[in-house]
Amino acid sequence: MPITTHSNKIVFRNTLEEGVKQQDEEIDFGQRMINSIDVQFVDTNLYMSKELWLPFGSRGAFGGQVVAQALLSGWNTVEEGFNVHSLHAYFILACNVEIPVIYQVERIRDGRSFVTRTVTATQKGKPIFLLTCSFVKIDDNLNMDHQVNIYCIYIYICYKVLIYNYYRLICLMFQVLKTFHRKDQPVDYREVHNLSPLEIMKGESVATTVNRRWFKTRGPLTDDMRLHACVIAYASDSGFLNTAAKANGVSYTSPSVGMMTSLDHSIWFHKPTRADEWLLFDKYSPRSINGRSVVLGKIYTRDGCLVATAAQEGIIRLSEIGQKKLQKKLDLTDSKL
């Protein structure tokens, strides 16, 4: 039999042991973002990750990357003319960056207006992640349109202030992290309210239920709106659960935190938008109890248009140090009663 080759040759790469490139080397961050969420066609309804990224201090691959790759896998089985309008995901096991992820797509429904897909991500034959996503046919008819008002002037001021604070903090003590950020992150994140260097080192700060950040890709993307939706899914998982930690006056760097990991993740896409232009992620955490926390978030364009809403529940467990601190605080409160 003749030997045949396939143009879609499978090549898997992880960034676990990837060397840092020269600082003066030009990096195409737009292409890096595309590569990060791209998947390889294997067979009908079957796809594989091309890249996986292990964030600093994480025990598994970045969850947002798995969400984006699973979404793209499902979207690849949907005919043109449909946009994603919602997704709901469950993180089951930590994703090992040293082996590829297999994405199995199940075609639940193909309707005239809505299409539903379920995507199961597996490694070594075990499910590590489950995604259900729904797509809606693009509708050019007149429809109801409303959103809760947000003050555009406030957004504009925050946009200006965050850039100043970001570089001020970097210049103070995080030149090394700046280099790491530039080399490793295809998405540019800018916090509206930066923690002080002391708060970052201690992992503790004044408790606040609100956490806002701007984000966009570090390079321009193509006009494929599937790509932009997948990038929003990718970025929505970054720092999301940390909002709940901050609501309790700590962060993932705190010795009081023993475990922090996502359980599930949901996004509702209201309107297609570009992810290579600044978007504001306005997050808040309404509740933490029994070792679990819930975080809600809204994503706005610079002109104040609400384009997506997200929600996540995760595990945040105290370390022994954190439990002792909390017990001491509770005892002190009881003594004052």
Active site residue 312: yes
Distance CA 305, CA 152 (A): 9
Given 256, 262, 285, 293, the catalytic residue: 262
Q: Which one of 36, 185, 236, 237 is the catalytic residue? A: 237
Helices (DSSP H) in 190-337: which residue ranges?
Answer: 197-202, 225-236, 242-247, 320-336
Active-site pick, 36, 49, 69, 312: 312
| Strands, E assignment, the chain | 13-14, 39-43, 46-49, 51-52, 82-91, 102-110, 114-123, 126-137, 187-191, 210-217, 257-269, 279-289, 292-301, 306-318
For the question of residue 262 being annotated catalytic, the response is: yes
Q: Which residues contact 176 (CB under 8 A, 6 or more apart)?
A: none
Rounded Cα gap, residues 184 and 32, in angstroms? 10
Q: List, by residue number, the catalytic residues.
A: 237, 262, 312
